[in-house]
Amino acid sequence: EAQVTQNPRYLITVTGKKLTVTCSQNMNHEYMSWYRQDPGLGLRQIYYSMNVEVTDKGDVPEGYKVSRKEKRNFPLILESPSPNQTSLYFCASTPSQTTDTQYFGPGTRLTVL
């Protein structure tokens, strides 16, 4: 089944404890993105990647890191999480630069205490 998977789905952590949210897609898509979704603010892009080893900042990159060492994986790293990073996070993939349809993962609900 073609899909985008994220792990974990739910995470409660404390301020300053490094964490990684994994994202994997099995559709051989070039483009991958991370979004956060907050009430009243909608979906905001954190980082995106156009292909392996090519990443760039989205609208709200502060406090986040990403890497794209393999085409299928695009982990989101929070080196020192803070409470304002409490949010619902979505990973998405798109077949190519010329395709606009985004395929979203199921989401990761993160709470930073």
- Give residues in contact with another protein (CB under 8 A): 4, 31, 33, 40-43, 45, 48, 50, 56, 58, 90, 92, 94, 96-102, 104-107
Cα distance between residue 78 and residue 97, in whole Å: 27
CB-side neighbour CA atoms (13 Å) of 22: 9
**CB of residue 110 vs another protein: minimum separation in angstroms?**
14
Q: What is the DSSP string of 44-87?
A: EEEEEEEETTEEEE-S--TT-EE--SSSSB--EEESS--GGG-E
**CB of residue 14 vs another protein: minimum separation in angstroms?**
24
Identify which of residues 42 and 69 has a Cβ nearer to another protein in the complex: 42
Identify which of residues 18 and 40 has a Cβ nearer to another protein in the complex: 40
Identify which of residues 6 and 85 has a Cβ nearer to another protein in the complex: 6
**CB of residue 94 vs another protein: minimum separation in angstroms?**
4
Residue 67 sits at the vertex; the CA angle it makes with 84 and 28, to the nearest 5 degrees, is: 115
